[in-house]
Amino acid sequence: MQTAAFSELFPLFNAASPETVDWLLSIAVEHEYPANRAVLMEDAWGNAVYFVETGWVKVRRHAGEEVITLAILGRGDFFGEMAILDESPRSTDVVALSAVRLLSISAQRFIQTLFRDSQLHHRMLQLMVRRLRQTNYRFQLRHQPPAIKLVSTLVGLGETYGVPTEYGTEIFNIPFQDLADVSDITLDETTKIMEKLNSKGWVRLAPGRQAIYLVHMKQLAHIAGRV
């Protein structure tokens, strides 16, 4: 991957110097995984930072026999950055939702790069603060009706990872259980709301294309209270 394309794909590196990006590209390791394959196990957190080049992944938490999806990440995002600074045991893993291609950079080299490039360090802090704000926003929605919670999740995924198409903003055909977990609602609620959104024409379900199309983003954003 060329330096400019790498910086464009990953917002983290927008402010990094070309020398930093060249260095990271030279040491990055590429990984490819099929759908439903674990890409990061519980005991591997803290070894590296991972960047999603293509595809979709989910971060899961294990609580006894229960597994709950905490986050859904797509192209241009990254994970593992907090674990390189935190050596506490992890009870989470990362699983590919679709076929996925990742780039990894070892923890030691990534930390060295952060210290060498102050702009990259600052950008990393900005993105971590943004994630914290997103978490706070989800917390603020905890007493909202299920439809608002789910639509907020869909709009957030569309704004962050969606691809504009003639059918609307395209995101991956995320399993309803994962949408339910991330939205903090039940699977039954998720199924009913998605069917209603589909019947109204606001969302188009296209499992054959492994896609969900957010047909009317403005209306959906209004429902979610984002406008």
Residues 103 and 171 occupy one common structural domain: no
Return the pLDDT at 81.
Answer: 84
Last residue in a domain, options 106, 139, 172: 139
Residues 205 and 93 occupy one common structural domain: no
Residues 194 and 212 occupy one common structural domain: yes
Residues 58 and 134 occupy one common structural domain: yes
Whether 120 has a pLDDT exceeding 50, the answer reads yes
Residues 109 and 147 occupy one common structural domain: no
- CATH, residue 35: 2.60.120.10
Answer with the residue of higher pLDDT: 149 or 15.
149
Return the pLDDT at 226.
Answer: 59
Name every residue whose Cβ is closer than 8 Å to that of residue 143 and which is 6 or more positions away in sequence. Answer: none
Residues 13 and 88 occupy one common structural domain: yes
Domain that holds residue 15: 3-139
Range name among 6-15, 140-149, 180-189, 207-216 with the lowest pLDDT average: 6-15
Mean of the per-residue pLDDT values of the chain: 90
Residues 88 and 54 occupy one common structural domain: yes
pLDDT above 90 coverage of the chain, percent: 57
Residues 58 and 151 occupy one common structural domain: no
For residue 57, name the pLDDT band (cuts at 50, 70, 90): very high
Residues 34 and 116 occupy one common structural domain: yes
Residues 108 and 156 occupy one common structural domain: no
- CATH, residue 200: 1.10.10.10
Residues 132 and 204 occupy one common structural domain: no
Return the pLDDT at 77.
Answer: 94
Last residue in a domain, options 107, 139, 171: 139
- Each residue's pLDDT tens digit, 134-184: 888 888 888 899 999 999 999 999 999 999 999 999 999 999 999 999 999
Return the pLDDT at 87.
Answer: 59
Last residue in a domain, options 139, 159, 193: 139
Residues 33 and 62 occupy one common structural domain: yes
Return the pLDDT at 227.
Answer: 46
What number is the average pLDDT over the span 54-59? 97
Q: Please tell me the total count of domains within the chain.
A: 2
